[in-house]
């Protein structure tokens, strides 16, 4: 009888170990799925970062272009101001009676 009892204990322990292995396998599968979700999120964040970077570059280029245009306009205003002063000086030479 002791041999039979020993085998019963062994079978019970093997059954417990099998259940633990099945539980661990399920947990490993869940971990793998979670890993995939994390990797997808990381890729998404990376892509978003690249898009933000590209947008910032576009905004910077547009701002530089606008700054250049504003400078050109300022130069044109200076030129018009100088021409207006010359015209006023020329007109002052003539007297209308």
Dihedral sign of CA atoms 34, 39, 40, 44 in order: positive
**pLDDT tens digits for 14-29?**
999 999 999 999 999 9
C-alpha distances in angstroms, 75 versus 33, 64, 68, 78, 88? Answer: 63, 17, 11, 5, 20
pLDDT at site 96: 65
**What pLDDT, on a 0 to 100 scale, did the predictor assign at position 93?**
82
Output the pLDDT for position 3.
87
pTM of the model: 0.53
The pair of structure tokens assigned to 48 is 């978003």
Helix (H, G, I), strand (E, B) or coil at 95: coil
With tokens 């018009």, the residue in question is 80
pLDDT in tens, 30-86: 999 999 999 999 999 999 999 999 999 999 999 999 999 999 999 999 999 999 999
pLDDT for residue 94: 78
pLDDT of residue 97: 64
């Amino acid at each position: 009888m002791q041999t039979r009892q020993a085998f019963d204990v062994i079978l019970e322990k093997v059954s417990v170990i099998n259940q633990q292995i099945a539980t661990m396998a399920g947990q490993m599968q869940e971990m793998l799925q979670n890993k995939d979700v994390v990797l997808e999120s990381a890729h998404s964040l990376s892509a978003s970062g690249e898009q933000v970077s590209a947008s910032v570059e576009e905004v910077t280029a547009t701002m530089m272009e606008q700054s250049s245009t504003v400078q050109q306009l300022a130069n044109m205003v200076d030129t018009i101001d100088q021409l207006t002063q010359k015209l006023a000086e020329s007109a002052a030479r003539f007297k209308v009676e």
